[in-house]
Amino acid sequence: KSVLKSDLLGKEVVHFFDTDSTNNEAKKLAADGAVEGTIVVSEAQNSGRGRLSRGFFSPASKGIWLSVILRPSFAPQHASKCTLVTAVAVTKAIEKFTGIRCGIKWPNDIFYEGKKLVGILTEMNAEMDAVNYIVIGIGINVNIAQAEFPEELQRIATSLQAISGNAIERKELLSQVLVELESAYLEILKNGFLHILNEWKTYSITLGQAVNVIGIDQTFSGIAKDIDEDGALLVETENGVERVLAGDVSIRPK
């Protein structure tokens, strides 16, 4: 805990050697009244969760498997943007700490040369019209050798060590991630999301690309043009502009 440089985030640190999912632990703690800024980290997750009900590979002591509890004063409809904000903060932290410049695939996957390095899963609990808590789950592949990824991830996942050839100090990187996330969070509370959504665009690898969108009830292709003030992806199709709030977007190879 002493290495942490953030004030709010990491106020309380809950550490596990193994758990099903740090997001599950964080949601339990939040429901039991944990203070804002409480973080949960685990060396390993035996049932790490990704978006769209997928699993998330989380081997022991080789990554940052982290969940952050926030209790923001904004209305529930703003929560989904936290995921874009987090992607920007983590991308910046990685760039500052390692010099590696990554890109963000809408909404919040962090990629390096076509392979996924970081996943983010935001979950919210709201009562009436107020946010009770938001849990932001962040999984960063840090010291996983390329050959250690399971077969099905070999061609689509990477790690900081695989990219740089060096082992990365996880605690220091964690500390940097919390500093960046804290400053982004304070910024949105004070001035709203506009500034960070614009920053998101500068890291985006999705905008300007031909994409396939697998939505909840429809599938279509088009060109990703922009994101709007809700963080939704605007895709220009043959039938006009489609607004994508959730779903799976893949970039079509050229």
- Nearer of residues 109 and 199 to ligand BTN, judged by Cβ: 109
| Shortest distance, position 241 Cβ to ligand BTN, whole Å | 26
Choices 27-35, 63-71, 168-176, 182-190 (CB under 6 A): range interacting with ligand BTN: 63-71
- By DSSP bridging, strand 109-112 and strand 219-227 are unpaired
Among 74-82, 114-122, 152-160, 187-195, the segment contacting ligand BTN (CB under 6 A): 114-122
Q: What number of other Cβ atoms are within 10 A of residue 242's Cβ? A: 16
For position 49 contacting ligand BTN by CB under 6 A, the verdict is yes
Contact flag: residue 50 with ligand BTN (CB under 6 A):
yes
Token digits of residue 105: 């695939």
Annotate 97-126 with b (16+ C-beta within 10 A) or e (fewer).
Answer: bbeeebbbbbbbbbbbeebbbbbbbbbbee
State in angstroms the smallest separation of the CB of 122 from ligand BTN.
Answer: 9
Cβ count near 229 (within 10 Å): 10
Alpha-carbon gap, residue 192 to 172, rounded angstroms: 29
- DSSP strands (E only) in the chain: 13-19, 39-45, 63-70, 103-105, 109-112, 115-127, 130-141, 210-214, 219-227, 233-237, 240-244, 248-251
Name the DSSP letter for residue 190.
H
CB of 89 to ligand BTN, least distance (A): 15
Does position 62 bind ligand BTN by CB under 6 A? no
Under rule CB under 6 A, residue 51 binds ligand BTN: yes
- Of 137, 160, 181, 213, which one interacts with ligand BTN (CB under 6 A)? 137
Minimum gap (Å) between residue 194 Cβ and ligand BTN: 25
Q: Least Å distance between CB 121 and ligand BTN?
A: 4
Considering the complex, state which of residue 79 and residue 120 has its C-beta at the smaller distance from ligand BTN: 120
By CB under 6 A, tell whether 117 contacts ligand BTN.
no
CB-CB contact of 234 with 200 (8 Å): no
Q: Residue 93 — φ and ψ, nearest 5°?
A: -60, -45
Calculate the alpha carbon distances from 210 to 173, 213, 233, 240, 250 in Å.
33, 10, 13, 15, 9
Instruction: Please state the closest distance from residue 129 (CB atom) to ligand BTN, in A.
Output: 27
Sole binder of ligand BTN in the list 72, 107, 139, 231 (CB under 6 A): 139
- Residue of the chain from 9, 90, 102, 121 that contacts ligand BTN (CB under 6 A): 121
Can residue 205 be called a binding residue for ligand BTN (CB under 6 A)?
A: no
Distance of CA 27 to the CA centre of its chain: 17
Return residues touching ligand BTN (CB under 6 A).
21-23, 45, 48-51, 54, 56, 58, 65-67, 119-121, 137-139
